[in-house]
């Protein structure tokens, strides 16, 4: 995969992209990441990239000319271009998985009050948001997206199937609690199901714990989760009693 980042602050990415799993992914050739300074494509010698909104209003916008010039000079339209924006598609595991299947991603990091709509229309394929809150710029959001996507590229992590399952399952539930050996820690026992050696029993316990954790922490995920009739009945019971059982 190739990822191009267009930003006003290239230095923001220097350490994160050379550290830990992302750094190894770049070194091992699983992903190629290039960072481009948008100011280099400004139309004047002062490097001006922002302007006031037409008709007035608070704040400034990224001008369309530098964005278009950057896209043309680097031929970025060949990739899938994303603008990091609070009003974009919510980044979740399903979207990260879809984005990981692209061969080339282009990320535009916004600043000020946004980007001129003409640049969005001409250059951007998709707006993506990492959450319902406001950041100082698109750079932190770009790093989150890159981290979520790159770890799903085969070969980046040692266990690809584990990478696909971490935290969120394909069925929409949160990951279940995991335990390591030894079996006891400060008086706390590992659940007997995990010690049984019965893989069917272990899988059933993990599935129930995933359902329980999702109910307790992210109930908003449940309407879209892939549940069977018994699991939906169990959720109905939990909702009536106000809390899940303790097993």
Hunting for tokens 């001008």 — which residue is that?
63
- More confident site: 213 or 175: 213
pLDDT of residue 170: 57
CA distance 48 to 35: 19
Residue pLDDT, tens place only, 103-152: 999 999 988 788 889 999 999 999 999 998 889 899 999 999 999 999 99
Residue pLDDT, tens place only, 176-218: 887 777 767 777 788 888 888 899 999 999 899 999 989 988 8
Measured in degrees and rounded to the nearest 5, phi and psi for residue 2 equal -115, 135
**What residue ranges define each of the domains in the chain, with the CATH number in brackets?**
2-150 (3.40.1280.10), 184-241 (1.10.1270.20)
pLDDT of residue 211: 92
CA distance 126 to 82: 5
Q: Which of 221, 201, 183, 227 is nearest to 93 (CA)?
A: 221
Residue pLDDT, tens place only, 55-79: 666 778 899 999 999 999 999 999 9
* pLDDT greater than 70 at residue 3: yes
- In terms of DSSP bridges, do strands 61-62 and 2-7 run parallel, antiparallel, or are they unpaired? unpaired
Neighbours of 238 (CB within 10 A): 17
161 pLDDT band, cuts 50/70/90, is: very low
pLDDT of residue 128: 95
What's the pTM value of the predicted model, to 2 decimals? 0.77
Residue pLDDT, tens place only, 27-44: 999 999 999 999 999 988
């Amino acid at each position: 995969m190739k990822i191009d980042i267009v930003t006003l602050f290239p230095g923001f990415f220097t350490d994160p992209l050379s550290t830990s799993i992302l750094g190894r992914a770049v070194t091992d050739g699983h992903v190629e990441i290039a960072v481009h300074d948008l100011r280099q494509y400004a139309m004047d010698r002062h490097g001006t990239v922002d302007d006031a909104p037409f008709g007035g209003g608070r704040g400034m916008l990224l001008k369309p000319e530098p964005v278009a010039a950057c896209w043309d000079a680097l031929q970025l339209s060949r990739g899938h271009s994303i603008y990091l924006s609070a009003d974009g598609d919510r980044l979740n595991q399903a979207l990260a998985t879809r984005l990981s299947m692209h061969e080339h991603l282009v990320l535009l990091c916004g600043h000020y009050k946004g980007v001129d709509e003409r640049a969005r229309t001409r250059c951007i394929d998709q707006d993506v948001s990492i959450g319902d809150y406001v950041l100082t710029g698109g750079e932190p959001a770009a790093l989150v997206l890159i981290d979520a996507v790159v770890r799903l590229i085969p070969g980046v992590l040692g266990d690809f199937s584990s990478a696909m399952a971490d935290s969120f399952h394909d069925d929409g539930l949160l990951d279940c609690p995991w335990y390591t050996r030894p079996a006891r820690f400060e008086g706390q026992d590992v659940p007997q199901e995990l010690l049984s050696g019965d893989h069917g029993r272990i899988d059933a316990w993990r599935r129930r714990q995933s359902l329980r954790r999702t109910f307790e922490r992210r109930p908003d995920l449940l309407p879209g989760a892939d549940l069977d009739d018994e699991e939906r009945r169990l959720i109905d019971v939990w909702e009536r009693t106000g809390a899940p059982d303790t097993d």
